[in-house]
Chains A and B, each alone.
Chain A
């Protein structure tokens, strides 16, 4: 026993002496409900709980709320009438002051959050008290762009699953944070890294990879949740990437491809599949009914120079569906073939019922593009039903990048970046946050640099042009914009909708606000002091609803850094 603990006990005994017996007993009960420091008494998360995550008003079990990734939470204690009374319940300060992109996961009063550099914390969701902290010992080599981010964990049974910046997949004990198993996913020296939260389903841990700026060959893999052994692996870049020589994008606009030159390059150099990029760094949606997963594949490598990669560059910039059990290909839809603007597909897909072209309700898939459109697909075959009105200004599309720089809108971050959208199926609305960053696109040609940054040029913000952002609600059955709120800075992070008729989202300037989900009217706001660039979660504990969000800024858009996890509640 050290001096501190003697002092601690003395203080506790002293307090207990003056407290009424009942208050002391309540304090004890509260402390024990989620465990002493170093231990989290976590309810084992069953597959049945995960399957029904969309029906829980208590927990927030997956990165985007549920397997369909609707980011619609059923709790409605906080609603349009009382949200004005929302206030801070607690603030937890992590050890890492760097970009926060975590989606807090909540399991019966225990919260799991992550920070940059792959730290994990278990917290008491009612008080913010730390229960344990996993401080990942990072390997000496990590290779990634856009920040040392981590977007969260998932829990299955009594294990917490984490993917790390040095490309490892790790299972932690949910109770203690101790490592149960660890698997190498890929070689970080070759440009592979992990920032996404794994998706765990049916004893499989699903994970993709970053690396589209480093000439990787992308994949989505399933690992055995109990052992960490690989079950299947799907190359997001197939052996033949040529495709159909598409000349138009998903919206019918000409992409100005020089097909003849590409065919010459193909004949001369062969298929470019080996270093074509195609990262997947956002969660797949899981369709439990059809036993399929749906995810989007990122940009080809190098980003802006298409001369070394003839063909459509399948399956980059695409929605892809696989069989969950086998990892076999089911269908895909490519938004932009042979992308030379890095306007790829990043924001995680969402499964909702949608109206098809004839007005019939069918199972659908939504994806919010960097182009600024929300794309609506038929889940059966990935085909496109419609695309929404543009949520951001589009100009000069698709001008080809030049040596001196060609101006085009949107800028290379979007539209919608990785930020997950939210939906409210009762209103057929999808809520997206957008960036407006006028940029010039430049092309340069250089050979594959062995796992180094391989951009094939640069996209640069135009200093004289004002940047901004917006929050946009789109009716996915019509493609029309229902409402839009302009924001002074580009938006990146994520958004949440609740059954209380609200959407919550944050801005780089530290503002975190609630809006009426039907008309976009601002109903409440809070200043966090650092960029709120993470997706919010909602949960209930002790009969009270909480909204929680990370305020740690953002590396990619360079918003002010912080290290706070902030939970809000009503009195």
Chain B
């Protein structure tokens, strides 16, 4: 329900934004639309929507670019991103990267879950890109403290290639036993 409401608000805002000349838009105007789903305080209105406050500039930029290209599918994000040029995307990405990462209040995973998650991580080598504390770097996203439901959905979508804009990640998720993904989501969300 929340998702549906969010879609309606966003589509309206996006259409409105598209009607104005892009150069006239300040960053504040450009990001106005984002709060409808990603939260006015950085806490998304729905748990399957990612935290973007404090996320890395490079990663946000690449996602906006991919939404515009259609490499990443989203009926909500595609119309928004398609109004952006490269500099807009970088500016929006920079804007959100400077925000403080919100505390979603997700608990630490219990020991057995953490063990299962870290065993899975060691096998596939997540920290090779997401780094030791899962803080990410540049175009590789921060995972620590991300919404558990979003993480679970993303890993599942990568696994089926429903999320198609990172085939390398899809390969790695396919190589990870399906029953380890829940533990990974819980572990990462609780960091």
Which residues of the other chain, B, contact A460 by a CB distance below 8 angstroms? 123-125, 175-176
A558 located at the interface, meaning its Cβ lies under 8 Å from any Cβ of chain B in the complex:
yes
Are B132 and A452 within 8 A (Cβ)? no
Which residues of the other chain, A, contact B57 by a CB distance below 8 angstroms? 140
| Chain A residue at smallest Cβ distance from B118 | A558
Which residues of the other chain, A, contact B176 by a CB distance below 8 angstroms? 460
How many chain B residues have a CB neighbour from A under 8 Å?
34
| Shortest distance from the beta carbon of B138 to any chain A beta carbon, whole Å | 4
A147-B128, A450-B71, A463-B119 known; A138+B138 contact, CB < 8 A: yes
0/1 string, B98-141, CB within 8 A of A gives 1: 00000000000000000000010011110111011000011100
Are B124 and A561 within 8 A (Cβ)? no
The B9-49 residues at the A interface (CB cut-off 8 A) are none
0/1 string, A392-413, CB within 8 A of B gives 1: 0000000000000100000000
Query: A558–B62 Cα gap in the complex (Å)?
Result: 26
A213 located at the interface, meaning its Cβ lies under 8 Å from any Cβ of chain B in the complex:
yes
Are B122 and A446 within 8 A (Cβ)? no
A444 located at the interface, meaning its Cβ lies under 8 Å from any Cβ of chain B in the complex:
yes
A49 located at the interface, meaning its Cβ lies under 8 Å from any Cβ of chain B in the complex:
no
Are A453 and B167 within 8 A (Cβ)? yes
Which residues of the other chain, A, contact B160 by a CB distance below 8 angstroms? none
| Shortest distance from the beta carbon of B124 to any chain A beta carbon, whole Å | 5
A46 located at the interface, meaning its Cβ lies under 8 Å from any Cβ of chain B in the complex:
no
A146 located at the interface, meaning its Cβ lies under 8 Å from any Cβ of chain B in the complex:
yes
A112 located at the interface, meaning its Cβ lies under 8 Å from any Cβ of chain B in the complex:
no
Query: A293–B168 Cα gap in the complex (Å)?
Result: 34
Which residues of the other chain, A, contact B174 by a CB distance below 8 angstroms? 442, 444, 458
Which residues of the other chain, A, contact B165 by a CB distance below 8 angstroms? 449, 452
Size category of the binding interface on chain A? 20 to 34
Query: A462–B172 Cα gap in the complex (Å)?
Result: 14
B178 located at the interface, meaning its Cβ lies under 8 Å from any Cβ of chain A in the complex:
no
Are B61 and A146 within 8 A (Cβ)? no
| Chain A residue at smallest Cβ distance from B94 | A140
Are A461 and B139 within 8 A (Cβ)? no
Query: A346–B73 Cα gap in the complex (Å)?
Result: 37
A140-B61, A444-B174, A458-B175 known; A213+B168 contact, CB < 8 A: yes
| Shortest distance from the beta carbon of A66 to any chain B beta carbon, whole Å | 32
B171 located at the interface, meaning its Cβ lies under 8 Å from any Cβ of chain A in the complex:
yes
A67 located at the interface, meaning its Cβ lies under 8 Å from any Cβ of chain B in the complex:
no
Which residues of the other chain, A, contact B172 by a CB distance below 8 angstroms? 455, 458
Are A452 and B167 within 8 A (Cβ)? yes
Are A458 and B122 within 8 A (Cβ)? no
Given contacts A141-B61, A444-B171, A460-B176, could you give 15 more A-B pairs where the C-beta distance is less than 8 Å?
A140-B57, A140-B94, A146-B128, A442-B171, A444-B170, A446-B161, A446-B170, A450-B69, A453-B167, A454-B168, A455-B167, A457-B171, A463-B122, A558-B125, A558-B132
